[in-house]
Structure 1
Amino acid sequence: MPGKVADFLRAAELEPAERATLDQGVTVRRGQGYTLRLIAVPAIHRQLLDRCQPLDGTAAVPAQRKARREYENRVNALPATSLH
């Protein structure tokens, strides 16, 4: 998960399972930003993706919109039965 998406979700109200997934993520530095590596079933990733829909709106900065699109592409590439 891109760091900009993770930062947005940390400030949002999440379900306990979603919050636990974020809290257990491992931060990996990438250039100027970071990536949060999460191990969760695809359903949790899809719930988190749904919660960051406001990043598609005009109130979000372009980098946030791009980060959300990248996360969406990664989530959509997950097989339905995967554990990662």
Structure 2
Amino acid sequence: MITLDLPGLLADGDETVRTTLASGRTIRRGQGHFLRITAPLELHRTTLQQAVALATESASSAERKAHRVYATRITAAT
């Protein structure tokens, strides 16, 4: 089990992700928020794959940054 912080933009984007991660603890900092999730690494990777639309050119800069930050956290955890 690995504890990672999932940016709120990723957690709020998909109903399946929100349901799966309902046990996460919401933490607020400034304007943004994130969920602190303790789960197997595979769940974190699946969550990132489900949010791949946020990494496209049509996404806002904040959404792209949230995706990039979470991907970096997953990579650092491996």
Provide the C-alpha distance between the structure 2 equivalents of 1:58 and 1:67, rounded to a whole number of angstroms: 14
Where in structure 2 are there 5+ consecutive unaligned residues?
Answer: 1-5
Deviation at 1:7, TM superposition (A): 1.0
Q: What is the match of residue 30 of structure 1?
A: 29
Q: Matched residue pairs, number?
A: 73
Quote the RMSD (CA, aligned, Å).
1.7
Deviations 1:4-58 (A, max 9, x none): 1111133xxx38xx833x1111000110111111110000000001111101112
Structure 1, unaligned runs of 5 or more: 80-84
Which residue number corresponds to residue 54 of structure 1?
Answer: 53
Normalised by the size of structure 2, how large is the TM-score? 0.83
CA distance in 1, matches of 2:48, 2:28: 21
Where 2:38 maps in the other structure, the secondary structure is: coil
Partner of 1:78 in structure 2? 77
1:4 equivalenced with 2:15 (yes/no): no
Structure with bigger strand share is: 2
Q: Which has the larger radius of gyration?
A: 1
Runs (4+) off by over 4 Å: none
Aligned identity (percent) is 38
Q: Does 1:39 align with 2:38?
A: yes
Report the TM-score, using the length of structure 1 for normalisation: 0.78
